[in-house]
Structure 1
Amino acid sequence: MVRLRFSLFQAVLGALLLVAALQLLYLALLSGIHGRQQRRRYSQLFEARGRGPGPGPGAGGWRLPADAGLDASGRYRLYRDVSRSPVAARAARSPGLELSLATHSSVHNLHQLPALVRRWQGPLAVAVFAPAGELLPALLALRRLELYCPGLRDTVTFTLVTPSRLRLPPYPPGGLDGEQDEAEAHWDPGLDSDSEPEPHPPCRRALAPLHRLRLQRRNYALGNASYPNNLLRNAARAALASRYVLLIDMDMLPSGGLHAHFLELMSSPRGAPPAADRTLFVLPALEIRHSRRLPWDKAELQRLYQVAEVRPFYSELCPRCQAPTNYSRWINLPAGGPGLRVAYTQPWTDPWEPFYISRATVPPYDERFEQYGFNRISQACELHVAGYTFAVLDNAFLIHKGFKLASEFHPQKDEENRRNRILFRQFKQELKLKYPDSPRRC
């Protein structure tokens, strides 16, 4: 009887072990199938097989590099032209590109790129910073922007910048594609609060996940990572070998037709100043209320300026930073037609940090400056010491979407400013050694 019970126990135990073994085998097979599906999705998304440029997975020519170069500090890794853009290929094959725009962004500000592409209507380079935890969302965002936003792939080249310890993974973890699809399927028009909304429906749906991402960050508050803005500016400027370059922040837009108008100015016998190589063509920067439509030309801007819907950039935070532009003189200039000309020159005075079109050969930004404070003014200071002229254009401008308010910044901004102020004092002493014969100081 005992032997019979023991035999039954052995049979039941054996059956249970068999069931458990079959379940483990099933899970292993399911995991393998799921892994192959994820790798196939990634391959479709980032590794085109030459199936033509249609608006869907597999379009284009993405071949993500297995490695990339490090910056001078060794802290960051730069993946140049991650999408193998046609504009970058054309610039490499046929040197002679006259004018490009360079800008930088985190993944949380990429939703503003399609509007910038529409405004600029010319070659454009973007350096995107992706810290830990944001690498895959950044790659997916870039790919979707290229696939679904008109004109973007043919005009934009991307440089991806990451902390040096991060490497591009062979394929994304399960579920990431599904999360993106889910976000697009439940796109909320209320998320698109920009004053220049996206008119193209497929692009608008692709922007939906990015609009949600922007709500997760305040300015440069990236957790444990520092935003290397000057490194990004240099990386974007170097991405396209053009004669002239306009370098701006992602949340600014140029006046309509600026690309074509500036090329006309440079080709006109009376337009370009004699020392154009040493001239910085200043674009007055302004900011507009979030609720207003962005002006296309100066006439429209003047009307908004008169009713206080537009004001000089950084009016509340640092009025002295833009005051040397002389807005009262610029806004009242007589209409000179649709083109551009140099209206007047302004001597550089501390702490002016203008935006300008310059020759691509101007000194680079000092990459030691990160986060907030003295990152742009350091280069303007050096250009002044190096002997450059600041020439204000009459009908061109930059417009920032929304008034800059102190309440919108993260709590660490003042401490970042303090650290960079100390670095800036050191930087100015270094300029005396770099330009010993210059009579200029800043």
Structure 2
Amino acid sequence: MMFLVKSNRPIVIILFYCVMVVVMFMLFKRTCVQERDNMGVYLERYERNEGTHRERIENKDEPPILNPTSMIKQHGDYWIYYNLLISKRMFAPYESITYTTQGDFTFLDNVQPLLERWKGPMSIALYAPGDDFNYTVESIHYLRDCTTNLIQNFVTFHVFLKGQDLPKEIPNFKKIFNTTYNCNIEPSFKSIKSNETYRALNNLTYPINVARNVAKESSQTYFVLASDIELYPSVNIIQNFLEMINRTQITATNSNPAVFPLNVFEVKEDAEIPKTKTELLEMLKKKKAINFHQKVCPACHRTPNYNEWIKTNETKGINVFYVGKRIGSFKSWEPFFIGSKYAPDFDERLSWEGQSNKMTQGYILCVKDYDMMMLDNAFLVHKPGIKVFRRDPIRRAHVIKTNVLIRKVIRKELETLFGVKKGCRV
């Protein structure tokens, strides 16, 4: 009997420690859950086949605001001045939607009218090689001090360039922005033409996807609208979209990952940009507005159920009008959408001049089976002026080079990384 007790003692000790480990784990788990509840952190669910999470946002409590800081970081061949000038207002992740956009200083005349419609946080990445760097800083200074206070409150600027294009001297930003701009001096974006910039004089291509990614990743909010700086949104999108998300919980309950595309339009050069769908539909009837790039690349912005969308009158708020996919006749669609800041990035090897710069993101959305939830009363309108096709031999050379890169290199990479799905096209 004594032999049996001695022989079982190690087993008893092991069982005792196992029980203790289980008890400690349960207590730790309970404590963690209680801490999460006390902080009011949103319930997290992982998207199907996604490394990112989606949140339910019905809880009134917000995660803490993370104040951005100015910093210089290397990003491949580029040096990026993140948060060069930071908005006064800070936003919690689910408090708003950030309009993320990009350009160079010659496009900054769009910021004020765009912001007067958006009335929410904006993250703008500006390409500023060589002499354009100082022009960019000066233009930002002017916008802050000589235009609407919406810019001070809502816009955060980032600036980037390649090391080989650094200016001879980097200005003292703190000293500059601690002074008040002399508003009698015309800013560079009004006095310097696009063909007079350092970029134009040195035949530099515009790295549009680097800019898009910088602006998107720097967003304070979870939801972003990654758009172009000349695309003006309809009014009241932020409030109405968030109300829809809270009411429907669609991002938490939908079985597939989802983004929320907006229809995009162009208007005649002498036309006012419509603020509401009612105004837009009237302009479409009078032929003062057309679908975006209708005369340049119709397939690029053809959206699911478009004909029904333009026949449907404006209703209250924002709702999902139709759920489509980027396949079939929409395989070349390059959507602009509201989505998570963690949605697929843009391939930074692609430039504005080479076109097709949103196609890689579109392919990933397709392969990963994203639902394209078209919104009913929200849309974008390009700065007035109908685009028409023009032959440009120089740009054509960039397009050919880009197409070869996509066909021989990028497509193979995407198929290896994300897989292949019938109907999905790069």
Normalization by structure 2: what TM-score?
0.74
Aligned match of 1:154? 153
% of aligned pairs identical? 24
Find the partner of 1:399 among 357, 371, 381. Answer: 381
Aligned match of 1:374? 356
Aligned match of 2:120? 122
* Structure 1 SS opposite 2:351: coil
Q: In 2 relative to 1, CA 221–331 (structure 1 residues): closer, same or farther, beyond 3 Å? A: farther
Deviation at 1:272, TM superposition (A): 5.6
Which amino acid in the other structure matches residue 129 of structure 1?
Answer: Y
Gaps of 5+ in 1: 1-62, 173-180, 187-205
Would you say the 8 A contact 2:195–2:201 is kept in 1? no
* Structure 2 SS opposite 1:358: strand
Cα distance in 1, alignment partners of residues 313 and 411 from structure 2: 38
Q: In 2 relative to 1, CA 436–259 (structure 1 residues): closer, same or farther, beyond 3 Å? A: same
Q: Where does 1:354-433 land on structure 2 (aligned, <5 Å)?
A: 354-372=335-353, 373-401=355-383, 402-407=385-390, 411-425=393-407, 426-433=409-416
Deviation at 1:275, TM superposition (A): 2.1
Aligned match of 1:294? 273
Would you say the 8 A contact 1:340–1:395 is kept in 2? yes
Would you say the 8 A contact 2:124–2:156 is kept in 1? yes
Q: In 2 relative to 1, CA 276–338 (structure 1 residues): closer, same or farther, beyond 3 Å? A: farther
Cα distance in 1, alignment partners of residues 196 and 272 from structure 2: 24
Q: In 2 relative to 1, CA 276–308 (structure 1 residues): closer, same or farther, beyond 3 Å? A: farther
Aligned match of 2:17? none
* Structure 2 SS opposite 1:103: strand
Deviation at 1:80, TM superposition (A): 0.4
Would you say the 8 A contact 2:278–2:313 is kept in 1? no
Cα distance in 2, alignment partners of residues 170 and 377 from structure 1: 36
Q: Where does 1:330-345 land on structure 2 (aligned, <5 Å)?
A: 330-335=309-314, 337-345=315-323
Cα distance in 2, alignment partners of residues 170 and 353 from structure 1: 37
Would you say the 8 A contact 2:367–2:420 is kept in 1? no
Kindly tell me the number of residue pairs found equivalent between the two proteins.
Answer: 344
Which amino acid in the other structure matches residue 234 of structure 1?
Answer: N
Matched, 1:144 2:142: yes
1:367-425 superposed Cα distances (whole Å, 9 cap, x missing partner): 11112311112211111112211111111100001211234x86522112111111222
Cα distance in 1, alignment partners of residues 319 and 255 from structure 2: 13
Would you say the 8 A contact 2:299–2:332 is kept in 1? yes
Would you say the 8 A contact 2:194–2:200 is kept in 1? no
Would you say the 8 A contact 1:271–1:341 is kept in 2? no
Q: In 2 relative to 1, CA 215–427 (structure 1 residues): closer, same or farther, beyond 3 Å? A: closer
Cα distance in 2, alignment partners of residues 96 and 375 from structure 1: 29
Q: In 2 relative to 1, CA 168–331 (structure 1 residues): closer, same or farther, beyond 3 Å? A: farther
Cα distance in 2, alignment partners of residues 410 and 260 from structure 1: 42
User: RMSD in angstroms over aligned alpha carbons?
Assistant: 2.9
Deviation at 1:264, TM superposition (A): 1.2
Q: In 2 relative to 1, CA 252–332 (structure 1 residues): closer, same or farther, beyond 3 Å? A: same
* Structure 2 SS opposite 1:371: coil
Cα distance in 1, alignment partners of residues 194 and 249 from structure 2: 48
Cα distance in 2, alignment partners of residues 350 and 276 from structure 1: 22
Aligned match of 2:65? none
In terms of mean alpha carbon deviation, does 317-326 or 351-360 score higher? 317-326
